[in-house]
Structure 1
């Protein structure tokens, strides 16, 4: 996080003054941040770069690409999200969005008024893209929309991380709409002159609904000059995979062959000049910076070809399909629609369930209301769905094509959990000619409420500190438009609190954070100070500022909720026993503008443990409790015997929640209590728990052993493992550990002895007390071994009828194969466990098993389709009428060696996860070839599953695995995908049908197979 902090701060330092107009596009830097958070994104981007080069090559050669690829008229649905209708003193309106998008369309299509005045040298390179960006007319829920959504003021969506949840919550489906976010402060750093940022095609972002363009509303057409407003065209270019023409300066590349290099200094502006190689610079190119000074005019042919290739990317291809154009309402511009500028209603700041928005409705394409004045009547002209109780819409007709929508009353329930999407469904009687020719007869309104205001207290996490051993810690508070902070030891004896632009109370005319005393009021009159650009964040300690040195105090902070200013405080104290400082708690007032007093909601530093309980099990009292702290150093457990004085019996480590007391006697009453401690501080006690060991208590027989020379080192039963070592008196009571098994399960068992000093012969016996009569009987022996001086590996079966919780006993005896479960063992050890047996859960989908080559005289590849929620797959063989397990796999295949001398047999597969399993697949017959040389030409290129629906895995020979790629061609011979991703490759956005898949290594086709998508 420190690297991210420094990077963003440097960008802001470059950004210049607060009001200077400057093109500072952060696309490169923010895409790199996103890729660092998701390394798979960079890999996929590199793969698509290979695809793009080949696609463009074929496009120009007219080979394997249909002639209409260039002539295609792409239509792309767009939604604009507006965060504040005033940005840097400029208004952001629906009309300005319409005009701005029209200008983008003109730029892409060469209809800008200066297109024909491009420098003569570059006129032959000019190119246009037949594309129309259209504001969506149908929202994701089927209602009318303007394609422009007005939100409350918010900033920061230009950051490559930290805002993804908010972005996704506001987004419309990224596979259907290009989402453009209009914010004044792209990085939420109190810097208002950054122009825009966009992200290249990335299917992970599309799937998470975070693909986007973020643009400064102060630079929309109408708020700045025409040329600088074309920076929006610049960002749309990024969205369709165009790179800066000056990327990485004279040694970089934008991956386009007809855009000259640039030195990244942008000193030419609109004056023709040459680059570092002496070649002319394309100063008028939309993807550079020079043109923003007054001469943006063109894309090159190479850039247009690259954008056409981007249209094929799985994160962009769904946008322009006809089915999507119909779904978003942009296919036919002749249909009428209901224009409603407001689709999101936020509760008034007085928090009383009322709304004051006024929505001016209008009809398009000649559609008219059936009335020319008056009000529409519910039940006659419209119906309501999901409208909050207490709110009533009033639709006042102003003319036959215009109306005003207001809300009367107040919502009876108006907390955030009552947020709801409501709709007004217009009936035929509302319009002349009914609802015919309307793109939709519905208006959707999203109601957002505010929780009751209050002062809320939260506890800092244990690691919210900066020390010499932890010099940087990024953390988030639980409330606010921007919740990010960082604790920072910048240099020796220089502690800072990074706020990402948010203000803290500081001493006058300094960046030194004030140490507030308890009871100090934090309000709008406090001396709030914003941080400077890196490295001038706000200081807690520096060599000349010592107010905090060794002291506890409070920091007053300012934050925003929906753009409204609120106040809070952090409690800061020195780290015990070390240099450094930590935030132990914080509090905040959610009422905009309302004050808060430092420390008015202080937590007690330690909360007592709760819900202490006791239960007796095998002459052991097992205690459990709830740990209510995160910063304690440990616990003190105390015990009283028969009403006597409490005595400390154990000091336990932090985050403990259970303890077993073996020192008990029949008929004695015990009381227990527990407290938490931190240093010398101690919490109050928990509740008491009282338990008596009954005089007639019947328990399992006692055992002990001499384990001087041998002991149970570890056991593994199914997925359960316990490493114990030599236990006290040769008995390990591990009944607090539960081994989870299934009815009918073949339990894989690994029993490992420990020896001192040398190995000796041991015999193992395992009982499960299935009838729960406190006795281990011979009929309950589930595993018995002969003498061995090595680790034992084997299996035992759980009966299909077994279900419930039982006691298990494991005994290891030196040179003794007897079945005695009780008493003293001369040499060896005993361990007891709890076993929970559940019925088989067949909730997982049954996999489909099959063969697809990969068969030789020595074995074969078992294949199957992967099923949802499975974590692994078990494979069994049937060679002579009995099924047995040969292995498991987390993938879609398993190599199975030839079983003995058998050449004809069956295999089957079932899917498993931690809570369930599938039924067994239909058995597949296998016939291995007779003896003879292995067919070395046999294909080792496997595609599975095949047929497939959403993803496939490619299995390729190891000899070429480091230097290979996959190319996928459709049934027209067109290349549609290139990838080096071999496992779980997504094909969900490819049309259903048959494809040819080629395995390429060193530009040679190694193998090819057909892939069937269903």
Structure 2
């Protein structure tokens, strides 16, 4: 491949010894070509961000001004340097198994970063004597995060199977809805996305202040990440990440993204005409006026040479990077605190006023949802500091907020208020900082809007959510009943182009257990989120890529409320107004009678299929076991095993099984006899059948017959043998029950999509909600997986090992509420939520 790039470079001018930033951005072109060379597109990403974010230049100017002041202060005083430790989360996106890089490959990259930034890499000694005195230990280290944004233990790695064969530089890999993975809180973690990239791109980064918080981080090509495993020479020593993290910490390319008149704003690096590729021989000089140096510094990590030929940062580069991590710097939050596995010191104590509810024995805040924040919690003693959970909201935007109360028993009327400290003065007393006032008390879920003024400053600040029993509150009040929660809000620049709110909501094909919802298309929408609930219960969120969604698993004669929002590139709309649909009642079917007149010599002892494993014994010739059920998925095959018992001599028995696929109350239709076996004296018989795509969704009847010496018809009364009836639940993909399965590709926990098969999922859990039994059916997760059920407070309430593909877990003794089901197969962990009713 040939590397040709047109680069736009931000040029700053400085005067009077302080960072005074030029008001214009000028551009320079680099026509330097490399064959099979390094392709970092950070400069192109900056160009794109500057074009879509009008505040980006001002933000970057502020970062640069702070940097220059920091560097000047360093020259005026001697300080003892602190080692900054940055917590890292690596988001692995893979379309093939080879792209699912190993933990060893990930750790090798962390090791390289630490060696390169701490000058413990053995090859730094190759630095020519001209530059040897400038080689710097940046005193910056990196560690895989040990705690995720929700406070749970983590390996610091997420793994997402994606349908996308490659990504470009438009940040799609940073959004779950676009085939990637949503960022963790970018003020607490360095997010690194590892994925296949098109166009020969090795990686790119987001400069401090140049873009939105939810895209902040570094992107690295799979085969250029780390120094072992799936890596390709000459970029197989982990230096691509060293280069891109340098950008992320505010370093420019060594040649200043220009020609001999451009600079990288570092005093101890030579001016260069363009990038260097491959492995040049020293000296190699491209500008006559390069500050008296005899060569380009092509061995610097911020050039384009091969991995084996770059091995140093300079002291000037060190100072630029440390400036963004210093107190008040753009990335200082990353290294102030230890909650996520990194940091240097504990954060300063908050000076915000105290507030709380004195009692949460009856009510508490159960859920806060706004933008990308969707926090669910239990009672937290009247006050919870959730400032480690953040949400980015754009200036001038209007954002839907959903507030959910939790009750221990009876429901009470609650009053809700939300404040945001827009001017960051550690109080909520200023005009406009009360952003939501419910206006009255109610026990229902509250939905409202938070508006972010266009005039407020960008940056992080605090949001306070307060729920008080039966009366309005102030921001600093301690009251009798209720709860308060604090969060972090990242105010970003003006919102990206709007994404329209879906309209024209309608429903069709309504049955007792299924219905289809539809809506009008929105221009620019890539997908849609549909949230569904009954009454004032919790929302279940599903995803659709078209303008309709078929839902199964509904309850008969029940009203469902649903709303829809559009997901456009980089933005989502607010949810639409609610629409409602009521399912029909369950039709009463009357099946024909059948039985064996005598079970004195033989009867059905056991029936096994799906989650049914019924050891029954003699039941007078007929047994109604329709209280026992299993779930069948269209297109999937199932094996049924029938075991007879003889009280004396062994007789020949014939077997037949029917399923009423079209739910018309008989077994007469084509294909409804799913298994037959001629007379045999075998101790058990088995056979497989596949659920047709034409079968009706929902509950229906399965009939099993065993007749002496001949096959039976479904409505026959015969002399010797037995008949047993069971219930089977047939479904295709989507179910409105919350989170029935955990996905391999890290999609949000949502309903199954039409066409998915068990092999595409980690596991399936049903029914959800569950009252007595929660069935777990393993997909690509194998047996001997460990399952743990946690309460919402993190307490472990059930622990067991799954030894078969489908296991019934008794949850009857668990208190009602929400739980987290976690399954670990020894290689990865998948989780989902379920409700105990």
TM-score (norm 1): 0.32
Whose radius of gyration is greater, 1 or 2?
A: 1
TM-score (norm 2): 0.38
